[in-house]
Structure 1
Amino acid sequence: MQFSITAALFACVLARPAAAPPPDRAPAVGVASFEALPKPLPLPYDDKADAEAAVKAAKARALKGHKLLLIDLGGNWCLDCRLLAGTIELPKLKPWVERHYELVTVDIGRFDRNLAIPVRYGVGSRPEGVPALLVIDPKTDKLLNGGRVSALADARSLTPQALADWLAQWTR
C-alpha cells in the first residue's frame, strides 16, 4: 500500500506542468537616485524617424535574437521619459536590457504623432501618460503588460533600481 501511494504522488508531480521560471532579476544599478544619473539626460526620441519602420525592424531583431520587444512611447519634452532613458543607459543596466529586450523609442509628440502604434496593441489612441512602455512578445505580436503600459509615467517618484526591477517583470 505504501508503495502505491508514493508511486501515485510521484506520478502526479511528474504529470504537473512545470511552473514558469522566475523573472531574470535586474542587476543592481548602483545609482541610488536620479540626481546621480549622468547629465545631460538623453533625448531618446527622434521626431523625424519613421516610427512604423523602426518598430518593424526592432521586432525582426527581437525575433532573431529571441528577445522581447520593448516599445518606448514618449517625447523629449517629458522628464520622466528622459529619466527612464538615462536609467537604461547606466553601465550596469544597459547590457542586461540589451540581453532581454530589443528597445525602440517612438516619439508620440504631445500625444499627436505615431498613435497607430499603441492602437495596434490595444492601448487606445492616447496612452494615459508617458513614458508608455509596450512589452511585446514578438512571436505572437501580443502585448504582455496590458493595463500597466503607463506605469512609469511618474518615473521620477521611483528610484533607478525600481525602474530596472519593473523591466525585469517580463524577462525569463
Structure 2
Amino acid sequence: MRSALGLTLAVAALMGCGEARAPSGLDADPWLPRTEAELDARIEEARAQARASDRLVLLDFVADWCEDCREVVRLSKRHPARSVIEERYVVVYVEVGRFDRHRAWIERFGIDRIATLVILDPESGERVAQTTLEPITGGQRGLTSAQLAQWYRDPS
C-alpha cells in the first residue's frame, strides 16, 4: 500500500515537470514576444512541420492588450475550432506589441488592425487567405467557436 502511494505521488510530481507542450499544431504561448530572428525561425519551422503533415501555416497576429485578440485566441482553443486547427494548420502567433514589433510581417500583409489571421502555403510561403476579426469591438460581436471553425475549414 505504501509503495503504491509513493508511486502515485512520484507520478503526480513528474506530471508537473518539464516544458509545457501545446497540442499538435498550436504555438505554446500567444503572448510570447519574439525577436525578428526567433519569429522568422519559428515560421520556417512551422512551414517544415506543415509540409511534413500536409497542413497549412496559420499566422495569428495578436497583442496582449487587444481584447479582440484575446477572444479569438480563446475561441480558437475551444471545440470545434481547436479540432479544425489541429487537423489543418500549424499555428504561429505573431505578437506585434503596439505595432512596433515584426514590422516586415505587418507590412507584407498590410495589417492595420488585429486580430488578423493569415494562412500561408507551406511550400511557397505565400498568403492563401487573410481575415481580421473583431469579436469584441467590431462587426463580429458574438462570434462563436463554431463560426470560427467554419472560417478555418473554408477561408475563401
Normalising by structure 1, we get a TM-score of 0.63
Shift of 1:162: 2.1
* AA at the equivalent of 1:51: L
Where does residue 32 of structure 2 map in the other structure? Answer: 46
Aligned ranges 1:1-172 → 2 under 5 Å: 44-48=30-34, 50-119=38-107, 122-124=108-110, 127-145=111-129, 148-150=130-132, 152=133, 154-156=134-136, 157-160=141-144, 161-170=146-155
Identity %: 26
The answer to whether the Cα contact below 8 Å between 1:71 and 1:104 also exists between their aligned partners in 2 is yes
- The residue that corresponds to 2:16 in the other structure is none
**Stretch deviating more after TM superposition (159-168 or 106-115):** 159-168
Separation in 2, partners of 1:104, 1:98: 12
2:84 and 2:153 in contact (8 A); partners too: no
What are the ranges of 5 or more consecutive residues in structure 2 without an aligned counterpart? 1-28
Q: Could you tell me the TM-score, scaled by structure 2's length?
A: 0.69
- How many angstroms apart in 2 are the aligned matches of 1:158 and 1:144? 26
Q: Measure, in 2, the Cα distance between the counterparts of 1:107 and 1:93.
A: 21
Aligned 8 A contact 1:73 1:130 in 2: yes
2:26 alignment partner in structure 1: none
Look up the equivalent residue of 1:45 and give its one-letter code.
Answer: W
Residues 52 and 117, structure 1, Cα contact 8 Å, conserved in 2: no
Q: Secondary structure at the match of 1:73?
A: strand
Measure how far apart 1:44 and its partner are.
1.9
Mapped to 2, the partners of 1:108 and 1:56 lie a distance apart of 18
Q: Which has the higher contact order (CA 8 A, sep 6+)?
A: 1
In the TM superposition, structure 1's runs of 4+ consecutive aligned residues that sit over 3 Å from their partners are none
Q: Cα–Cα, structure 1 residues 136 and 158, in superposed 2: closer, same or farther, change >3 Å?
A: farther
1:140 shift after superposition: 2.1
Larger Rg: 1
Q: Aligned residue pairs: how many?
A: 122
Question: Can you list the C-alpha shifts for 1:103-125, whole angstroms capped at 9, x where unaligned?
Answer: 11011111110121233xx423x
